[in-house]
């Protein structure tokens, strides 16, 4: 079974929050909201997308690659840390 199916509820909650953020951004652009506020909304959306990417990618790595043992498993854990740091 896919890890995205097993972990579906929190992933869908993230997507729904992003949908709300995108709706707010659309409304801000339609109403001529000050550019600083628009930029802040865009940054929040980017952070939300990065968070979702991190969660799905980490689940993928742990489900499909971490069952390895020894040095390979340690390297995967190191990769997960790097990716998590990069996507912040």
pLDDT top residue among 30 and 88: 30
b vs e for 5-33, b when ≥16 Cβ sit within 10 Å of the residue's Cβ? eeeeeebeebeeebeebeebbeebeeeee
Domain, as residue range, for 79:
3-87
For 28-51, how does the pLDDT look when each residue is reduced to its tens digit (9 = 90+)? 999 999 999 999 999 999 999 999
Confidence band, pLDDT 50/70/90 cuts, at residue 84: confident
- pLDDT value at residue 15: 96
- pLDDT value at residue 39: 97
- When pLDDT is averaged across residues 15-19 and rounded to a whole number, the result is 97
Q: Domain count of the chain?
A: 1
């Amino acid at each position: 079974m896919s890890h995205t199916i097993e972990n579906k509820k929190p992933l869908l909650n993230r997507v729904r929050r992003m949908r709300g953020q995108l709706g707010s951004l659309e409304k801000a652009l339609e109403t001529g909201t000050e550019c600083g506020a628009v930029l802040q909304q865009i940054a929040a959306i980017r952070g939300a997308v990065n968070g979702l990417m991190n969660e799905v990618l980490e689940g993928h790595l742990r489900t499909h690659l971490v069952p390895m043992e020894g040095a390979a498993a340690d390297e995967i854990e190191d990769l997960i840390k790097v990716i998590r740091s990069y996507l912040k």
